[in-house]
Amino acid sequence: MNTIIQILSAHIGREVTPGEFVETKVEIILGNDITFPLAIEEFEKSRAKKIFNPDQVVIVLDHFTPNKDIESAQQCRRIRQFAKEHNIKNLFEGGFGGIEHALLPEEGLVVPGDIVIGADSHTCTYGALGALGTGVGSTDIAYAMITGQCWLRVPETIRFIYYGNLQPWVGGKDLILYTIGDIGVDGANYRAMEFSGETISRLPMDERFTICNMAIEAGGKCGYIEPDEITLEYINQRTKRSHKVYKSNPETSYIDTREYNVSKIEPQVALPHLPSNTVGVSTLQPIEIDQAVIGSCTNGWLKDLRVAASILKGRKVHKEVRLIVIPATQRIYREALKEGLIEVFIEAGAVVSPPTCGPCLGGHMGVLAEGERAIATTNRNFIGRMGHPKSEVYLANPAVTAASAILGRIASPQEVAV
């Protein structure tokens, strides 16, 4: 029995099988400033009087915040009022906030064995902690707030095994981009993606979060990495919540198994307009860029900022490029300040933003004009994703993005690193 089946079976009280529809209790119900107002509307339409357990609801105002206009300000005001009325204590914004999928792990709100539903597709990030995290609609969030339950179809599981040693400047972002390039954006449609192998076991948590975060870009229902000593050390430093670690049985069968020798994978770039349009950075002809973005729930972790700073230190951003750096949380921002990373970015000519999803979804803090190109550490490059429908977004890791910002074209970090 694989881990996802074990987690669901434990929550439902019987063994479940792939393909069946079930209703399960959940530990965490997550919403943000875009999706939660819709959940509030559905909650109030139902005439429900109270939330089943306010402590299990988490709201993070991160997409259009700091509020970019009157409409976003009104939405956030409504959320604050609702949270106050229903005694929701886990409301994060401003100086106490960050990007939701980095903030929840940082705050110790998710532990192994949890089921986390969020009205945001990248809720699959929490699989890096040994939890079942998946995105749902705002109506599902309203129902879960009333009942503590959520329905879903039990997914089949694909196992991805990674072995070998990583090349220089290659990390979790490259592994998941390479994988999506291999199976396509619908290659794991409504299936669980279990990431395993000796390479995964050596990765720090930041890289694991990045991999699970982008399971949805392959159509995955969730991503999952079995907890190990690295996971538990991360968890134990942040929470005292009890948890249960689930591991696949040796006789577990999978709907498919893929193996990758990571020593053959170089830094990847996803070309417009799909995350699956991946190529090795060394194979690209010169592609000039107008903007570079380092951040998002995928690559705004402290390790990502360290990597980018190691490339940018002592160098300048190309005069025709705008570099935007976005730490994923206030705590990461503060640590980056202590380590001198923020100074490196500013000296190089970057703009450092407070934590926000902003440019990733074309919201604010870096919207593209017609014909502009951006390279970004974000997770999607669909048409119009970062602004004008005739703009282009190229996805890459922080090292490639930093090197590209310096040279004014998509570049390998080996071109600038000493």
Q: Give the tens place of pLDDT for each residue, 16-60.
A: 999 999 999 999 999 999 999 999 999 999 999 899 999 999 999
Residue 334 has pLDDT above 80, yes or no: yes
Q: Give the tens place of pLDDT for each residue, 139-178.
A: 999 999 999 999 999 999 999 999 999 999 999 999 999 9
> Cα–Cα distance between 395 and 177 in angstroms, integer?
9
Q: Which CATH number fits domain 267-415: 2.40.50.140, 3.30.499.10, 3.30.1330.20, 3.90.1170.40?
A: 3.30.499.10
Lowest mean pLDDT among 118-122, 215-219, 246-250, 354-358: 246-250
> Cα–Cα distance between 372 and 389 in angstroms, integer?
10
Compute, in degrees rounded to 10, the torsion defined by CA atoms 1, 108, 208, 328. Answer: 150
The SS3 of residue 208 is helix
Domain ranges of the chain: 3-259, 267-415
Q: Is 405 exposed, middle or buried (CB count within 10 Å of its CB: 0-12, 13-18, 19+)?
A: buried
267-415 has the same fold as 3-259 = yes
Residue 1 has pLDDT above 80, yes or no: no
What average pLDDT does this structure show over 188-197? 96
How does residue 249 score in pLDDT terms, banded at 50, 70 and 90?
A: confident
Contact criterion met (CB below 8 Å) for 281 and 403: no
Q: Give the tens place of pLDDT for each residue, 304-333.
A: 999 999 999 999 999 999 999 999 999 999
Q: Give the architecture (CATH level 2) of 3-259.
A: 2-Layer Sandwich (3.30)
- Give the pLDDT score at 65: 82
Beta strand 149-153 with 21-25: parallel, antiparallel or unpaired? antiparallel
Q: Give the tens place of pLDDT for each residue, 360-385.
A: 888 888 999 999 999 999 999 999 99
How does residue 418 score in pLDDT terms, banded at 50, 70 and 90?
A: low
Cβ-Cβ contacts under 8 Å for 294 (sequence gap 6 or more): 300, 304, 305, 308, 323, 324, 325, 326, 376, 377, 398, 401, 402
Percent of the chain having pLDDT more than 70? 100
Q: Give the tens place of pLDDT for each residue, 261-292.
A: 999 999 999 999 999 999 999 999 999 999 99
| Residue 1 or 8, more confident | 8
Whose CA is closest to 413, among 337, 333, 313?
313
The SS3 of residue 86 is coil
- Give the pLDDT score at 253: 82
Residue 373 has which token pair?
């190109």
* pTM of the predicted structure, to 2 decimals: 0.95
> Cα–Cα distance between 174 and 164 in angstroms, integer?
14
DSSP string, 5-19: HHHHHHHHTS---TT
Residue 131 has pLDDT above 90, yes or no: yes
Cβ-Cβ contacts under 8 Å for 367 (sequence gap 6 or more): 359, 386, 387, 388
Please state, as a whole number, how many other Cβ atoms lie within 10 Å of the Cβ of residue 19: 10
> Cα–Cα distance between 141 and 32 in angstroms, integer?
11
Q: Give the tens place of pLDDT for each residue, 343-365.
A: 999 999 999 999 999 898 888 88
Residue 406 has which token pair?
């310096």
Mean pLDDT of the chain: 95
